[in-house]
Amino acid sequence: MKGLSMQYKMPIYSIPFRLIKEGKRKVDMRLLDEKRQKLKLNDIIEFIDSRTNESLFCKVKGLLVFNSFDELIDTIPLEMFGTYKDKDEIKLRIRRLYAHQDVENYQVVGIFIELLDIDVLEKDRGSKYLSLGDELVRFNFLTGYRDER
């Protein structure tokens, strides 16, 4: 349906947050859990720096699903992740973030993102951008329709 988009809030550590903000990181890696399984192209993600609570907004430009983080990291070009020196460094960092059991229970997803300028987002939507909390919400900015899930 035209005009409907999904919005998500996702916490993120400070280093990847900064890399996204600087335009150096173009892909985020997550477990393909129930929430991420609902992601679609053009959805909006509000990334929240877990240390400072600063927010930035990104549009989902692509989704690639893999069986493991290693497979994801080996497939995607190094420069998409930011300023890491090599893929081994990325693999080490991701292993520190996720429990082995979680990785065994889910596939993983590479979320290709485009950083959005909030002023442009507000103008494009025809009304003020809303932060809708942690719940998954479908919201049409033009009609005001809101469907909480």
Q: What's the confidence (pLDDT) of residue 148?
A: 42
- Average pLDDT on 117-145 reads 45
Name the pTM for this structure: 0.77
Domains and CATH numbers, the chain: 5-120 (2.30.130.30)
SS (H, E, C) 66-132: ECCHHHHHHHCCHHHHCCCCCHHHHHHHHHHHCCHHHHHHCCEEEEEEEEECHHHHHHHHCCCCCCC
Question: Which of 21 and 142 is assigned the larger pLDDT?
Answer: 21
